[in-house]
Amino acid sequence: MEISLEGKRAFISGAANGIGRATAVSMHKLGAEVMICDIDEENFSSFENDIKTFVCDVSDSSVVDQMFDQISEVGLDILVNNAGIAGPTKLVENITDQEWRECMAVCIDSQFYCTRRAVPIFKQQQQGVIINLISGAGIMGYPTRSPYVAAKWAVTGLTKSLAMELGPDNIRVNGIVPGNVSGDRVERVIYAHAEAENLEPETVRKMYKIGTSMQCFVEPEEIAEMICFLSSDYGKHISGQIVGIDGNTETLYPRSLIS
Ligand SMILES: NC(=O)c1ccc[n+]([C@@H]2O[C@H](COP(=O)([O-])OP(=O)(O)OC[C@H]3O[C@@H](n4cnc5c(N)ncnc54)[C@H](O)[C@@H]3O)[C@@H](O)[C@H]2O)c1
């Protein structure tokens, strides 16, 4: 089996780093015409020249609209709603309005803004693929991360609903649940968690591993490969699914390790 994305045009949000970056690189290798955006333009120069980059804050609908005016001229077959932030790690009573709103804006509003611009393009051509990045926090509870959890459960709901709404137009919508992905982001999350609960970072790292059946972290490239598979013709009848690449997360909060 050889996956090809030849002839497909893909857009990935938040692709300067991490999972988005790995996805852009993989899709490009498989022959797709790749467009990406991020607020962090520092890494843009390290991409292949024919990857089109946009500086865009996807939590701002007017900026997203301007970017999609340009994307529409290229055309689009695959939308990967990837941009996300961890939000605060705090007890609910200590979360500010701004922290709550920012997390919602980046993690869920952005997916709506990009999706509503991609869907008319997909409907017109009667085909399209939408992949939404969720999290274990979008399928189970996670104390001290309530804004992120609320936003990611919203992404799960959006994914399930849009798969039903758009299926008749041959538009597929799937969600991805990455496990603890090795890299900067998870390190930031581990340190924030350790500080919030007065724990050693090593205890939190162990806690994250022990919460998965396979007691593992995963690599961004593993997530990228699944996104490429689902985007390809091998996934032509896969829709409405929430796919974990996570060693099977049993819990995000093994309480016995904390108390
Ligand atoms: N890393 C993990 O362990 C993990 C686990 C579960 C889910 N996820 C989800 O996977 C997705 C990617 O995460 P990652 O680990 O690659 O994170 P990351 O922090 O490495 O990369 C996220 C990228 O999004 C960009 N970004 C942030 N806010 C933006 C905005 N307003 N507009 C445009 N770009 C913005 C950042 O600059 C960054 O380049 C996120 O939706 C995240 O919630 C990650």
Mutational test site, ligand 1, from 12, 19, 135, max ligand atoms within 8 Å of CB:
19
Domain membership of residue 94 as a residue range:
9-180+218-247
Does any domain span residue 4? no
**120-161 confidence digits (pLDDT tens):** 999 999 999 999 999 999 999 999 999 999 999 999 999 999
Does any domain span residue 171? yes
Active site residues: 148
pLDDT of residue 258: 65
147 lines ligand 1 (CB under 6 A): no
Does any domain span residue 89? yes
pLDDT of residue 259: 60
Residue 86 CA to ligand 1 centre (angstroms): 8
CA dihedral 231, 233, 237, 243 (to 10 degrees): -30
Does any domain span residue 256? no
CATH number at residue 78: 3.40.50.720
Q: 257 pLDDT band (50/70/90 cuts)? A: low
Please tell me the total count of domains within the chain.
1
Does any domain span residue 188? no
pLDDT of residue 12: 98
Mutational test site, ligand 1, from 57, 85, 216, max ligand atoms within 8 Å of CB:
85
Whole-angstrom distance, CA of residue 15 vs CA of residue 55: 11
**78-133 confidence digits (pLDDT tens):** 999 999 999 999 999 999 999 999 999 999 999 999 999 999 999 999 999 999 99
3-state class of 132 per DSSP?
strand
- The answer to whether residue 253 scores a pLDDT higher than 80 is yes
Query: Over the chain, what is the mean pLDDT?
Result: 96
Does any domain span residue 227? yes
Does any domain span residue 189? no
Q: 184 pLDDT band (50/70/90 cuts)? A: confident
Q: 39 pLDDT band (50/70/90 cuts)? A: very high
Whole-angstrom distance, CA of residue 145 vs CA of residue 173: 26
pLDDT of residue 254: 84
Does any domain span residue 105? yes
